Amino acid sequence: MERRVCHPGWVLKHKRKGTEIRQLRGYYYLYKIKSVYDPQRKRAKKVTERFLGKITEDGLIKPKYERVMENLSSLTVKEFGASSMIIKLSGDIIELLKKSFPSFWKEMLVFSVERFFHASPMKNVYHYYADSYLSETYPNVAVLPKQVSNMLKIIGNQRGKNVEFMKNFIEGDEFSIIDLTHTFSFSENIISATLGHNSEKEYAPQINLSLIFSLDKHHPSFFRIVPGSIRDISTFLLTVKESGIKKAIIIGDKGFYSEENINYLDKKETELDYIFPLKRNSSLIDYSPIISGNKKNFDGYFLFEKRIIWHYEKMIGNKRILLFLDEKLKMEEEKDMMIHIEDKKIPLNDFYERQFRIGTIAVITKTVLSARKVYELLKSRIEIEIAFDTFKNILHADRTYMREDTQLEGWMLINFISMLLYYRLYNELSKHDILKKFSPKDVILHFSRVKKIKIGEKWQTSEVPKTTRLLAEKLKIYEHIT
């Protein structure tokens, strides 16, 4: 029978109805008990149900399995590696955000990061933020959809500040100007989204975007939104004027070439060169080197991404016409045409008429750059368009929250910052010779596997997978993700 008098007060205070204190080798333990009727003895007997814990002067220590289960119930796992990596690589961008947008820099940073990592529309930003260690690094950031929408309206109403911020990224001596077309908007209140035809022959409310890209530093430097109905060369000049750039190369699409545009640019005093692709049926293109079948009639060749590119140059008046032949592209296009012929989708005569144009790219240019450099600039435009396509596509998801031109301006600024983050990582991968095997998206995926795990009140970093560790060591940021 239990004798209470033998137990100290700090032990007895844990005694409750239905419990029993037991002493074993100088230690005290608490058990849950109950009384049940024993039909054989015809009286009640005590039954031990379970162990409640060890009693110490500091309190009751619960059984180990209960402590483990409690820790598991309070366990929190958050993405850590990718966000920590991009914050480390983009310290200067973050400082410029703080300076230009002291009231919203955290919201702008979080939105831009999640845009880069997940192509996140506004409605999902808070979800990604809550699941990332960014929510611990920058707590209480206001990125719920309505909060983001309000922020975009405020920052979008400050074009002067936006221009001031972007001018920090006008670095180097060489810039390209690219027209990123058919960014759609279906909000009735966005005045800039006027009706216009895009390169896909669609007639819908849309906006165009003039983007200036630094060829020296390989990152976006400036943007300007243009109403969708305007497809005029003067928009480039206004963009250049606002940016303050003195010299740039306009890299247009096939829709921008015209005698009027060429003459307009040739007469302008500003140092604006241009590279405009020509349609394959243009009378300006001389296909005679290809028709001859003799490679000696070309001016030469160069290697681009392990592909052989033959080139030929011809002057028409003061106009410089460059013709490029990609042998691999020629084989691919010819194969596609023959499949269509076999399927009766096009007649064989179409192939005969177009056989010498297949696999070619022709441009008219004012530059004195080498054929290789002109070709690289054309391809860089394609890279930039691909990188920006993701952001253009999710405008559909975000249009619900954008009711005014100012919000669209703010939205585009966020995407501009996201592009800065993308190219910051891209350039680091290029510098450390990693791009051959891993794209920026690949690296984000690998780094996102490094987690922060909170057990109880303590955060711990998860194991770093081998591939992630090797990438982090090459980028010299291993200590920042561990």
Which amino acid type is present at position 454? K
Interval 168-194 mean pLDDT = 63
Question: Per mean pLDDT, which range of 162-166, 177-181, 428-432 is the poorest?
Answer: 177-181
Q: Which pair of structure tokens corresponds to residue 334?
A: 């010819």
Per-residue pLDDT reduced to its tens digit, 308-331: 999 999 998 878 999 999 999 999
Interval 448-461 mean pLDDT = 89
Question: Per mean pLDDT, which range of 75-89, 126-140, 179-193, 218-232 is the poorest?
Answer: 179-193
Percent of the chain with pLDDT over 70: 87
Q: What is the pLDDT of residue 269?
A: 57
Which amino acid type is present at position 150? N
Alpha-carbon gap, residue 477 to 49, rounded angstroms? 54
Which amino acid type is present at position 470? L
Q: What is the pLDDT of residue 199?
A: 46
Instruction: Count how many Cα atoms sit within 13 Å of the Cα of residue 104 in the half-sphere of its side chain.
Output: 22
Per-residue pLDDT reduced to its tens digit, 100-137: 999 999 999 999 999 999 988 899 999 999 999 999 99
Predicted confidence band of residue 151 (pLDDT cuts 50, 70, 90): very high
Q: What string of DSSP letters covers 224-292?
A: EEEETT---THHHHHHHHHHT-SEEEEE--GGG--HHHHHHHHH-SSEEEEEEEE-TT-TT---HHHHH
Q: What string of DSSP letters covers 423-476?
A: HHHHHHHHHTT-TTT--HHHHHHHHTT-EEEEETTEEEEPP--HHHHHHHHHTT
Residue 197 has pLDDT above 60, yes or no: no
Per-residue pLDDT reduced to its tens digit, 344-380: 888 999 999 999 999 999 999 988 899 999 999 988 8
> What b/e string do you get for 91-130 counting C-beta neighbours within 10 Å, with b at 16 or more?
eebbebbeebbeebbbbbbbbbbbbbbbbbbbebbbebbe
Per-residue pLDDT reduced to its tens digit, 262-273: 887 877 655 688
Residue 181 or residue 75, greater confidence:
75
> What b/e string do you get for 256-274 counting C-beta neighbours within 10 Å, with b at 16 or more?
bbeeebbeebeeeeeebbb
Predicted confidence band of residue 9 (pLDDT cuts 50, 70, 90): confident
Per-residue pLDDT reduced to its tens digit, 75-92: 789 999 999 999 999 999
Q: What is the pLDDT of residue 166?
A: 96
Q: What is the pLDDT of residue 184?
A: 42
208 and 180 in contact (C-beta within 8 Å)? yes
Alpha-carbon gap, residue 152 to 405, rounded angstroms? 10
Residue 119 or residue 468, greater confidence:
468
Predicted confidence band of residue 187 (pLDDT cuts 50, 70, 90): very low
Q: What is the pLDDT of residue 41?
A: 84
Residue 5 or residue 378, greater confidence:
378
Which amino acid type is present at position 471? L
Interval 221-237 mean pLDDT = 75
Q: What is the pLDDT of residue 201?
A: 40
Interval 41-53 mean pLDDT = 87
Predicted confidence band of residue 416 (pLDDT cuts 50, 70, 90): very high
